[in-house]
Structure 1
Amino acid sequence: MRVVAAMSGGVDSAVAAARAVEAGHEVVGVHLALSRMPGTLRTGARGCCTIEDSMDAQRAANIIGIPYYVWDFSSRFKEDVVQDFVDEYSAGRTPNPCMRCNERIKFSALLEKALALGFDAVVTGHYADVRTDEFGNKELHRAATWAKDQSYVLGVLTTEQLAHSMFPLGTTPSKAEVRAEAAARGFSVANKPDSHDICFIPDGDTRGWLKDKVGATQGAILDRSGNVLGTHEGAHAFTVGQRKGLSIGYPADDGKPRFVLEVQPKTNTVVVGPKEALDIAEIAGSTFSWAGLDPVASGIAASVGAPFVCEVQIRAHADPVPAVAVLRDGELVITPDEPLSGVAPGQTAVVYVGTRVLGQCTIDRTVSAVPVPAAS
């Protein structure tokens, strides 16, 4: 097959591209330029899309012996990832920009361009596994090593995108093995640290960055009964589960710390309460997708609207939790066997059945496991 290898400049994508060549594919390396102002993206080990990363990718492509190009996706990245991040926080939700980048850039914009140019698939260095069932249907599964598994951030892939995606590292037992292979191949990135954090916030100060983008307007901090406890300088600076920075000034009646339970951007208010009120008994989202066959076609659900047993994961590095899910009134409604902690609207809930990624939804609403007390 003719494939595009998305080369970030890291060790994983370099080894993935090399393995694709050795598997007999015709490979072209592509680095995604996500900003026309490189200083606005993180540098060194904390980034993934800088000039130095592009140079690292090119050196790896030269060693592999494949053509290498830089494709400019800066406009799409600014609109679909950066602006989405601002809009979501402005609406009181907590987005995952890496998931949006996978969804809208790497497996939408990049794949669309690759297919338009006559390529058959996109290769990345993600740790996940694409399998084919006995009837020829593609399925997305966890990687062989759960410690490095990245299937959560790929949960947004659609059935069509999955059919044109390749993850050569999915069955690799460990990241150490990938680094050893990179060193044996002579890649300079063999010991390059993993990228992390948000690439488009250069100094890592998310609160300060959002303040510049959204502005600061004073609002009220309320308890769950609606009593005013204090003020804040902008609701966008708070996330569900946050404890520090509330500046209420006096303890709760029970002397226990208080946590952000809800952010209400329309009224610019922040609701706080005890830690146990962070426990969530139900989550639901109207924007959902399936990575492969849907639950009914897979035989997982008896019929449309019938509940099915699954596991749900709400963060990239969280443990999956047993749950029951059902499509009801246009929403994917998920009820965990045990309450989830600190879930915020805007997060992504990825649904698994065994190792298979069944699909995902963006969380629109949550139901607390702890009733709201009567107003005092």
Structure 2
Amino acid sequence: MDLKGITLVYGRPGTGKTTFAAHIAAERLRRGERVLWVSFYEDKDTLVKNAAALGYDLSKAHIWDAVLVKAEDVFNYVVALATEEGPSLLVMDSISQLQGLDVRGHLTNVMYRALRPTGVDILLTAEEEGADPLSYIADNIIHLVRKVSERGIPTRYMDFEKMRGRPAGFIKAFEIVEGVGLVLLDELKPARRRAGQPLATDTCIDTLLGPLEPGSVTVFVAPATTSYLKFLARTAANISKRGATVLFAARGVDPLRFHAYVERLGGKVVAKRVEVRPDKYWWLTYGLYRAIEEVRPDVLITDWLDVEFSLLGRDLALETFRRNSALLRDAGIPLIVSVSEERGLSAYADNAAVFYEEGGALYARPLKVSSFEASADRCRAEPP
């Protein structure tokens, strides 16, 4: 987000306005540019400390904590500082703290007469109720929104309401992660897996659904039984024996036990627990992204998405599945997921199969098939 001109970032308390500003400022500092930060509610030491906890280094910024400065004196001093420092970015956080002052009038005068001619980019943060008087002078307007679902799950979005010279009206999901800062979900682009042919699982699934195509999504609707888990482990072992790197993202199954069982079958798997953090909804996508970047798998297998449906609710769980599937499609990594009920997942999948036990044996039948190589209507999912 290389924002030029005057940018207004507004939202309710706790939506991430200061974090957004720190994200932009830290990037400018990394490029060797000068940043002038005027804080109206937070002292310098606290600002630098809080930013560092999020992974942003603001120590080289010129920070003026104008917490106790009279409102009438602020703008004259800002102009003097900007003229002296010659920054490429001026941050004013939060302009709503200037009570009892004609903020719009002062800003108009300062921005257009004193600061715009210098070429400095300006980022203003404001509370929701104080944004309207400032909107007409802004080149870019970004509304930060934090929503809480019926189950108490918070989600964060950026609404790009105005972008000077560019189309606006789009929304981006984001999360704030300790040590990382502001993460835009749309910008998570894992490295693509090496180009290759479809992968066979050497199980009956090959005849039922066909081999695993690069970037394909396969859903297994299966009971949480020992026989199914053994089948899933054998699938992982067989794929790894073909020279593929398999990542097992554990939700409910102990990753160490799964890893040990795959090894007993003569295969290899990287088993990692991917947390479901209700306090940070988008962590599911970011945590998956980090695991993919670390392991660089050729295939991803994950167990019971029931955990996500239970904690997040159907709508948010489906949105997570849709976004994570898209992440893996872009990387060309085949995905196999397990769930006890279909719950609408097959709408986002290329293939889906239902597993069931009959006569003491585990069987599977197709629910959705995209491969022309599929040749069975039912198969026994364990060796005879």
More helix by share: 2
| TM-score bucket (shorter structure) | under 0.3
Q: Could you tell me the TM-score, scaled by structure 2's length? A: 0.27
Between structure 1 and structure 2, the one with the greater Rg is 2
